[in-house]
Amino acid sequence: MKQHVEIVYDGIQENKNCEEIINKVIEKCFENEKMEGLKLYISITLTNPKSIKEINKTYRNIDKETDVLSFPMFEKEELDNMVKNNYQVDDVLGDIIISVDKVERQAKEYGHSFERELAYMCVHGFFHLIGYDHIKNEDKKKMRAKEDEVLNEMGITREKL
């Protein structure tokens, strides 16, 4: 199986459980979008609230902590052509940055597991990288349907603790 993820730790300890979840979820995303044969990978940085706040301020001019940030490298049309033409160049699809502390807090707030919340952050970030957004309600519905499809197929539900 092609590895589509590079995991970087910034200001937090390495965590094999997180890595396992991330790898499974991202592979499923690639599979569902018919991208599994491409030589694209995602750099995922797991970090702390301070770092993600700095990144959010620097790149989005928003001076607050967030849960996940996505930085795509391609436009949606470019990706569609890559899939159509079976793009075989090693390349980065984009970067996803996740605040692990924020994931832990949100899991408790929403009443489900840390694993489910981390999986959701990965799926959410992935779909941003491939051109989906949730600014308009119509776009939000499309993106949520894609996210739910991946998570449901993996049996990762919004179970209550």
Tell me the domains of the chain and their CATH numbers: 5-153 (3.40.390.30)
- Distance of CA 122 to CAs 81, 87, 114, 150, Å? 23, 23, 12, 11
Q: Which amino acid is at 75?
A: E
* pLDDT (mean) for 82-109: 92
User: pLDDT category, 90, cuts 50, 70, 90?
Assistant: confident
- Tokens 């995602």: give the residue: 42
Tokens of 48: 């702390």
The predicted pLDDT at position 159 comes to 64
pLDDT at 56: 97
Q: Which pLDDT band holds residue 28 (cuts at 50, 70, 90)?
A: very high
Over 80: is that where the pLDDT of 161 sits? no
* Token couple for 54: 């700095």
Confidence of residue 2 (pLDDT cuts 50, 70, 90): low
Pairwise pLDDT comparison (3 vs 97), residue with the higher score: 97
The predicted model gives 119-137 an average pLDDT of: 93
Cα–Cα dist 156/136, whole Å: 26
Look up residue 7 and give its amino acid. Answer: I
Banded model confidence at residue 87, pLDDT cuts 50, 70, 90 = confident
Please say if the pLDDT value at position 25 is more than 60.
yes
Check whether 160 has a pLDDT greater than 60.
no
